[in-house]
Each structure stands twice: as C-alpha cells, then as structure tokens.
Amino acid sequence: MSENQNPQGPSRDVARHDGDGTVARTDRFADPGVPAHHPRLADTDPKAAKRNERIIAILFAISCLGTIASIVAYFAVRPDGTTPGVRLSTVLLGVAIAISLFGIGFAAVHWAKTLMSGKEYVEERHSSSSSEDVREVVQQQFKDGLEDSGIARRPVLKGAVVSALALFPLTIAVPLVSSVGGTWNVNSFRHTIWKKGTRLAYDPSGRPIKASDLTVGSVAHVIPDVPAEERESHEWITEKSKAVVLLVRMDPRDHKRDHREGASYDGIVAYSKICTHVGCPVALYEQQTHHLLCPCHQSTFDISDGSKVVFGPAKRPLPQLPITVDDEGYLVAEDDFNEPVGPSYWERLK
C-alpha cells in the first residue's frame, strides 16, 4: 500500500555523505538564497518615519497616564468590604495597570517593527559537538586526573567511597521520611468514631435526629452526635471526613434488599457519604429512583438495593451504618461500619 505516487517511480536522488555528516544531493533544485530585502515605508519616507515616531511617543505617554490612573484608583477607590466594592476597586486597578503595560508593550513592538532596522542577517552555525582535538585533550585530562588520584591502583578506596556516598543520604532521608508520616498508624483508616449508642445528628447543626422527624422520602446529612466544643478541632474534621453519613427514609416496600441484615430501622437506612471510588462526599440523592450520585466522578449507587453501584468508576457499595432507635426515640448507631469507609487501598480486606 505504498503511497509513493511519483510519476517517475522511486526518486533518483543520490545521497552522498560528506565527511562532516551533511548530506549533499544531486538532482535537486538550487537554493535561491535569502529573499531580497524590501524596505518598509518608514525606511524610505521620512514623513512615515516621523508619523511612526509620533505614534510611539503617544503610546508611551498613554502608559504614563495608565500608571497615574492606577495610583489614583488605588488611593481613591477604597473597597468597603462588600463584594461590589472590592470588584470596583479590582476592575479600576486592573484596567489602569493594563493600560500602563500595553502602552509600553505596543510602543516597543511598533518601534521595533517600523523604525529599527529590518535587515536580516545571516550567521554561520557551528557543529554542536566540540572538535576532535578538544575531545582528545579532555580525555587525556581525565586520564591524567584519574592517574593522579590513584584510584585504579587502590580498589579498596573505590568500594569505600561508593559505599559512604551511597549511604550518607540516609542520615537525612530516614529522619525526614519517618517524621513526615507522623504516627504511621494506617490502621486508623478502618475505624470511625461511630460506636454502639452514638446518636445520629444533623450536619452541621449537631441536633440529634428522631426517627419520627423523618417522613418517607426525606434525606438527612448526618454526623455523629458529639459535644459542640469537640467539633472545633482538627481531630473532628479528620473524624468527620470518615464519619459523615447520608440518611434516607424510604417506603420499606421499596427496598429490594438490605445490604446488612437488620441494619435499617423502619425503612430508614444510613450509608457512608464517602464514595468508595476516591472519597468525594456522595451528596446527590434522586428521590424517585433512590439513586445516589457522586458529583465528582458520577458513581451512582442504588440506595434501595444495598447501595450497589449502578454506574460509574466506583466498584463497591457504600458501607452501611447499622442503626436503631434508643428509648427516647432518637436514631442511634448499633455499631461502627463493618468495613473501612472511603476509597480502596491495598490492605483494605486484611
């Protein structure tokens, strides 16, 4: 299927390699050389040159005005803390700075293109490599240097210096790597702060949820019920990152099956909100289909079917939080999740 459609078959070109590696060809057109230089209007017409000079001067003057305008804008327009106030200041400053910069930029380019010499020059290139002579000298220098060091005659030193140099980075790397990982307690992925009896509370208010609060079809974003002051710490944000739950009350008849036997209460199911793909909060619930969609990568889970994946890049169902009600009618966890929440990792099933 050769595409060689030359009317005369294979070209009769003859490649001849010169000593310096360049290829000379016969039966080729001759290089016509650099095109003739055409003078520009300003090169021949003093009036045009004068006009361009004026334009350039005006552009520089506009730049000066832009600079002044930007300083005026800075001092005169004080943002008042509202979004429109900040926007006004930003627009005025930005436009003034742009004028100042454009003035210089366009003036310089116009100057170069109209008044500075437009004559092309030809410069020779030289080979990118150094000459044979230089190479020989350098090789000899390295040989001499090696000879001086005596390393060839002292193989013990060779091994010693390589070992020492290879090992010494560990003095920095070990403490650095070790400290950077903190406690390295990777087992903490397996647990959340949910435990038997923890009440389910609304996110972000922290108000505990009664089973009777929820009508069929309603959805609640849930956090574990912990004292308000505990919720103002990093530990809380880290725990919340694993513990957030989505609570849905469905008509019990809509449940195709329960992911965990006896884990729901009267049609109310609680699933981890952390996507089993890469950990985005799964937040979009579609009431009619009972589908739960992750807005990051569109993994879709079917809440009525044990939150199994019906579309997208996630593989596993969302872990279910087993729930029941306590004596006062509040929803409580029966236990922690029975598997790690969030994205998969190598030793997840260990």
Partner 1 sequence: MSTTTTPPTAAEPTTVIGKSADYLDQRTKVGVLAKQLVRKVFPDHWSFMLGEIALFSFVVLLISGVFLAMFFDPSMALVTHHGAPATMDGQLMSTAFSSTLNMSFEVRGGLLMRQIHHWSALIFVAGIVVHMMRVFFTGAFRKPRELNWLVGTLLLICSLLAGFSGYSLPDDVLSGNGLRITDGVIKSIPIIGSYLSWFVFGGEFPGEHIIPRLFTVHILLVPALILALIGVHLFLMVLNKHTQYPGGGRTDQNVVGYPAVPAFATKMGGNFFIIFGVLALMGGTMAINNVWNYGPYDPSPVSAGAQPDWYMLFLEGSLRLMPGQAEIVTWGDFTLSLNILVPAVIIPGLLFTFLFVYPFLEAKVTGDHREHHVLDRPRNVPTRTGLGVAFLTAFVILALAGSNDLIATHFALSINTITWVFRVLFFVGPVFAFWVTKRICLGLQRKDRELVLHGHETGRIVRFANGEYIEVHRPLDEQERWLRVNYEARRPLEIEPATDARGVKRKGYKKDKRWQKLSQFFYEDRVEPVTPAELAAAHAHGEHDELEPAHDTPELVSGSGNVEREH
User: What are the Cα distances from residue 125, in Å, to 18, 31, 218, 319, 322?
Assistant: 17, 17, 76, 68, 77
Q: At a CB cut-off of 8 Å and minimum separation 6, what does 296 contact?
A: 275, 277, 278, 280
Strands in 308-311's sheet, in edge-to-edge order, are 284-286, 291-293, 300-302, 308-311
Q: What type of residue sits at position 94?
A: G
Indicate whether 313 belongs to the interface with partner 1 (CB under 8 A).
yes
Indicate whether 247 belongs to the interface with partner 1 (CB under 8 A).
no
Cα distance between the two ends of the chain:
57
Indicate whether 273 belongs to the interface with partner 1 (CB under 8 A).
yes
Q: Which of 122, 156, 164, 166 binds partner 1 (CB under 8 A)?
A: 122
The Cα angle at residue 279 between residues 226 and 194, in degrees rounded to 5: 25
Nearest distance, CB of residue 309 and partner 1, angstroms: 5
Nearest distance, CB of residue 91 and partner 1, angstroms: 5
Closer residue to partner 1, CB minimum distance, 166 or 346 = 346
Closer residue to partner 1, CB minimum distance, 108 or 160 = 108
Nearest distance, CB of residue 226 and partner 1, angstroms: 14
Instruction: Pick out residues in 53-72 that bind partner 1 (CB under 8 A).
Output: none
Instruction: Pick out residues in 143-202 that bind partner 1 (CB under 8 A).
Output: 177, 180-186, 188-189
Instruction: Pick out residues in 10-39 that bind partner 1 (CB under 8 A).
Output: 11-13, 21-23, 27-29, 31-35
Tokens of 8: 């005369």
For residue 33, the number of C-alpha atoms closer than 13 Å in the C-beta half-sphere is 3
Closer residue to partner 1, CB minimum distance, 325 or 341 = 341
Nearest distance, CB of residue 223 and partner 1, angstroms: 7
